[in-house]
Amino acid sequence: MVVTIHRVDWGHPDAERLRAAQRAELDARYGSDDHEPGIIPSGDDVPVFLIARGADGDAIVCGGLRPLDEPVLGDAVAEIKRMYAAPEARGTGAATALLRGLEDEARALGIRRLVLETGTGQPDAVRFYTREGYASIPLYGHYVGSELSLCFAKDLTV
């Protein structure tokens, strides 16, 4: 699938639509809306947000970067937030393209390590991140003690 990657504001309508679809899917997978420990991301703390558009121009994948100040993780770390692929985009390479875009944006900002949290009810996400070079790490920050959280990291070559 041919996709184009675009940097947009957090509040862009396509970004909001994709995040709402993600939220609905996660609520259904976990049976409630109480499945995210920690601080809910916003435009104030996610300065980089990308969307991938398919050949028809529709936004089909999204994800952002939230810089972290988490001593246990070291410095120059950012967290991937709100990574989501619409069902029709899964398995097409669009999510991989967006993830590479996030990694490139992180490198440009001097970020040396990306971390992320996904959940026990998302085996497809675990397979995706593992395939893309992200390794399992201990729970960090607000995720420590969460029975639903799984955390991963990838060191970037700057």
Q: Give the start-to-end residue ranges of the domains of the chain.
A: 4-155
Q: Tell me which CATH code domain 4-155 carries.
A: 3.40.630.30
Reference 156, options 117, 126, 115; nearest CA is 115
pLDDT tens for residues 10-59? 999 999 999 999 999 999 988 877 667 778 899 999 999 999 999 999 99
Q: Check residue 110 and give its pLDDT.
A: 92
pLDDT tens for residues 47-94? 999 999 999 999 999 999 999 987 667 779 999 999 999 999 999 999
- DSSP per-residue string spanning 19-42: HHHHHHHHHHHHTSS----SPPP-
Contact between 103 and 147 under an 8 Å Cβ cutoff? The reply is: no
Reference 72, options 153, 157, 156, 8; nearest CA is 153
